[in-house]
């Protein structure tokens, strides 16, 4: 397999040469997936915590549904969003289809269930230890959730990273709602799909290596930051 050894060379060249097109694609990938992760955390963390600490009718069902949605096939989500955002669909007036905004929306919806479900589990595990103490101090429920989220932040950072990993690695949703438009909605994964379809296997593999390298750098910096916060 010459492609395989060739890919290392190509990946190295791409990074050294500082290819503008590549940087543009990397930047958009990061912008889309980091924004999606941020929004998903803003929504998913409190939602997961609420799901763990509050008791209400339908809680069990909601938990099962959330856990199930973790397995949402990206291409199905992409299709649903395409139909919604299309000019023939109910949200066509937003003019969001084939823009990075649509891609952010797709990835956000894709990872909210992951962030919510994992947060719920982590908070649930800690809730037993905290409940009595918080009760005896008469801490209101909202403040209790805040305390729990803060105290488990190291674990929740891993949750965010899991969401980010899913977002930056998926191709099925962004290629449908983004359209893989050059200089507008082309990200790492759609570029890899494109190069594969052109038979440029070495280049496609090289792009894959670059993507993993970026994920590695982000994970490394998060992990070292985590080392500091958890003392």
Partner 1 sequence: MISNVARLLASILLLVTTSTHGSDAILVQSTTSTANSGLYDFLLPVFRQHSGITVNVVAVGTGQAIRNARNCDADVLLVHAKEAEEQFVSDGYGVHRHDLMYNDFVIVGPSDDPGAIKGLSTSVAAFTAIASTRSLFASRGDNSGTHKKELSLWQNASIDAAADSGKWYRETGSGMGATMNTAVGMGAYTLTDRATWISFKNRQNHAVLFEGDSDLFNQYGVILVNQEKCPAVKSAQGQKFIDWLISSDGQQLIASYQVNGQQLFYPNAR
Q: Which residues bind partner 1 (CB under 8 A)?
A: 31, 35, 38-39, 42, 86-89, 92, 95-101, 104-105, 179-182, 184, 194, 196-201
Q: Which is nearer to partner 1, 32 or 122 (CB)?
A: 32
Alpha-helix residue ranges (DSSP H) falling in the chain: 2-17, 20-53, 59-69, 74-85, 100-136, 141-151, 153-169, 172-178, 188-197, 201-229
Diameter over CA atoms, the chain: 67
Rounded to the nearest whole angstrom, what is the least distance from the CB of residue 83 to partner 1 in the complex? 8
- Are 186 and 28 in contact by the 8 Å Cβ rule? The answer is yes
How many Cβ atoms from other residues are within 10 Å of residue 23's Cβ?
12
Retrieve residue 108's tokens: 């956000």
Rounded to the nearest whole angstrom, what is the least distance from the CB of residue 27 to partner 1 in the complex? 12
Phi and psi at 70, nearest 5°, equal -60, -25
Rounded to the nearest whole angstrom, what is the least distance from the CB of residue 109 to partner 1 in the complex? 13
Rounded to the nearest whole angstrom, what is the least distance from the CB of residue 193 to partner 1 in the complex? 9
Rounded to the nearest whole angstrom, what is the least distance from the CB of residue 92 to partner 1 in the complex? 7
Q: Which is nearer to partner 1, 63 or 207 (CB)?
A: 207
Q: Which is nearer to partner 1, 74 or 179 (CB)?
A: 179
Q: Which is nearer to partner 1, 119 or 180 (CB)?
A: 180
Q: Which is nearer to partner 1, 44 or 63 (CB)?
A: 44
Q: What does the DSSP assignment read for 23-72?
A: HHHHHHHHHHHHHHHHHHHHHHHHHHHHHHH---TTHHHHHHHHHHHTT-
Rounded to the nearest whole angstrom, what is the least distance from the CB of residue 137 to partner 1 in the complex? 20
Q: Which is nearer to partner 1, 46 or 124 (CB)?
A: 46
- Are 210 and 29 in contact by the 8 Å Cβ rule? The answer is no
């Amino acid at each position: 397999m010459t492609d395989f050894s060739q890919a290392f060379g190509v990946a190295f060249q791409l990074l050294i040469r500082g290819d503008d097109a590549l940087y543009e694609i990397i930047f958009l990938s990061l912008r889309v997936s980091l924004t999606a992760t941020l929004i998903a955390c803003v929504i998913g963390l409190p939602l997961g915590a609420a799901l763990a600490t509050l008791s209400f009718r339908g809680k069990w069902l909601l938990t099962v549904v959330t856990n199930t949605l973790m397995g949402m096939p990206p291409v199905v989500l992409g299709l649903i969003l395409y139909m919604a955002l299309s000019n023939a669909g109910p949200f066509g007036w937003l003019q969001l289809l084939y823009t990075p905004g649509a891609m952010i929306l797709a990835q956000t919806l894709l990872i909210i269930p992951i962030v919510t479900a994992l947060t719920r589990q982590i908070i649930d595990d800690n809730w037993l230890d905290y409940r009595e103490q918080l009760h005896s101090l008469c801490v209101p429920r909202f403040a209790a959730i805040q305390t729990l989220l803060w105290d488990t932040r190291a674990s929740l950072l891993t949750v965010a990273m899991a969401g980010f990993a899913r977002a930056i690695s998926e191709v099925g949703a962004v290629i449908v709602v983004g359209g893989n438009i050059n200089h507008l909605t082309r990200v790492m994964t759609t570029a890899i799909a494109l190069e594969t379809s052109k038979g440029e296997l070495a280049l496609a593999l090289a792009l894959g290596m670059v993507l993993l390298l970026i994920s590695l750098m982000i994970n490394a910096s998060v992990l070292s930051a985590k080392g500091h916060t958890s003392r």
